[in-house]
Amino acid sequence: MAPSPMRCPECGGTMNQHAEKIVYGSHGARIDPDLGGVIEEMHACPQCGYVASRPAT
């Protein structure tokens, strides 16, 4: 099942996921074993422009 769209922390609008970015560092169990880092989803709000991220599921 696809994850639910992210809600904008600023205005409550539905955000658009526009990127995934690998982040290297000490994130323990969240490290993707194939990629060697944590995949973060990047989201932007079409209403107010706010950007936010969350760990990929």
Partner 1 sequence: MAEPRPLSIPVILGTARKGRMSAHAARLVHGELQKREGVSTELIDVGSLSHMLDDNGQGTGDPAFAASMNRADAIVLVAPEYNHAMPGLLKHVLDSCLQEYIHKAAGIVAVSAGPFGGTRVIETSLPVLRELGLVTIFWDVNFGSVDKVFDEKGALLDQSFIRRTGKFLGELIWMAKTLRYGRENIAV
* Chain positions contacting partner 1, by CB under 8 A: 16-21, 23, 25, 40, 42, 44-46, 48-53
**12 or 49: whose CB is closer to partner 1?**
49
**20 or 32: whose CB is closer to partner 1?**
20
**31 or 52: whose CB is closer to partner 1?**
52
Nearest distance from C-beta of residue 34 to partner 1, angstroms: 18
Q: Which residues contact 41 (CB under 8 A, 6 or more apart)?
A: 6, 17, 19, 20, 53, 54, 55, 56
User: Which residue, among 42, 31, 44, 39, has the nearest Cα to 56 in the 3D structure?
Assistant: 39
